Amino acid sequence: MPRMKQRSAVLTLITVICAFYLWELVDSGIIGTFALYGIDLLQVTNQWYRLVTVALIHDNSSTIPIHLAFNMLALHSLGTPIETLLGRSKFLIIFFASLIGGSIASAIFLGYSGYSIGASGAVFGLFGSWIIIGRRIGAEVKSTLVIIGLNFVLGFTIGGVDWRAHLGGLIAGLAVTKVLLSSSRS
C-alpha cells in the first residue's frame, strides 16, 4: 500500500492562521481573547496561552490584509525550505520557540494597557534560522540580513510595529537552530 504524503507543517500553519483571520473578520472580539498583553497583565490573569495565540491574530483595520499577507508570504518563503532541510519536527520547534521568544520580549516591554498581535516574532525566528542554515550549507545569506535590517528600520520609523517581538523571535530562531544543528551533528 502506498504511503500517504505527510502534510506540510508550513501549509498547515498558514491555513490555521488564515482561518483565524476569517473568524476575526466576522467577530473582532477574538482579538481581545488571543492578543498578547504585557507581562504584568499576563502574571495577574495567568493567561500564558497568549504567548502562542498572538500569532493567530492580525491587523484587520485595512480592506487589504497587508499584515497577514506579509507574514504568511514570509512564513511560506522561509518555512518551506527550512522544513524541507530539517524536517517537520525541527521546523515546528524553531517556529514555536521563535514565537514564544518574540512574545516574551514583547510582553516584557508592553505597558499595562498595551497589546501585540501577529506572527512576526515567529517569522523573524525563521529569518534567524535561515541565516544559521544558509551559512552551514554555503548559501548566500546577505539578502536575508538586508531584509532583517530593512524591517528593523521600518519598525523604528513607522508606528504599530512590535520590533521587540521581531528581535526576540530573531534571537530565539538563531539560538534554537544552532542548538538543533549542533545536536544533529552528534
- Written as nine digits, the cell of 70 is 506579509
Are the C-beta atoms of 118 and 67 separated by less than 8 Å? yes
Name beta bridge partners: 36: 116
103, 116, 120, 129: which is the annotated catalytic residue? 120
Residues 6+ apart with CB under 8 A from 1: none
Are the C-beta atoms of 107 and 39 separated by less than 8 Å? yes
| Catalytic residue list contains 166 | yes
58, 98, 106, 166: which is the annotated catalytic residue? 166
Q: Burial letters for 26-49: b for 16+ Cβ neighbours within 10 Å, e otherwise?
A: eeeeebeebbbbbbebbeeeeeee
| Catalytically annotated residues | 120, 166
